[in-house]
Amino acid sequence: MSAAQNTFMSGVMASVYLMPLIKVTELIGGILLLINRTAPLAALVIFPVTLNIFLYHAFLGPKDLPMVGVMLIFNLFLFYAYRAKYLPILSK
């Protein structure tokens, strides 16, 4: 890992609660996706994690950016596929 990545990971690990929170969020999002009845909710739950992973690689470790970019595109595709489910949230 680079020095910037080491600094970032040290900060995340020093916060004590953040890494378990991220992992629990990933687990819940994955389970909801597997259930498939709750896939629109799963896309919302997992999006902040996906976006953070993408931004981490964009700024700190660009060698894995293509793979992470595909992951973000898949998440955005889920938003598009379930857009009818999200419209009531956005309307008055």
User: Nearest to residue 53, comparing CAs of 35, 29, 31, 36?
Assistant: 29
pLDDT band at 9 (very low <50, low <70, confident <90, very high): confident
Instruction: For 26-74, write each residue's pLDDT tens digit.
Output: 999 989 889 888 889 899 999 999 999 999 999 988 888 899 999 999 9
Q: How far apart are CA 28 and CA 31, in angstroms?
A: 5
Q: Which two tokens stand for residue 13?
A: 């690990």
Token digits for 56?
């981490």
Q: What is the pLDDT of residue 63?
A: 86
pLDDT of 76 higher than 90: yes
pTM, rounded to two decimals: 0.82
Instruction: Give pLDDT, residue 54.
Output: 94
List of residues 6+ apart from 40 with CB closer than 8 A? 78, 82, 85, 86
What is the residue-wise DSSP string for 33-79?
HHHSTTHHHHHHHHHHHHHHHHHHHHHT-GGGHHHHHHHHHHHHHHH
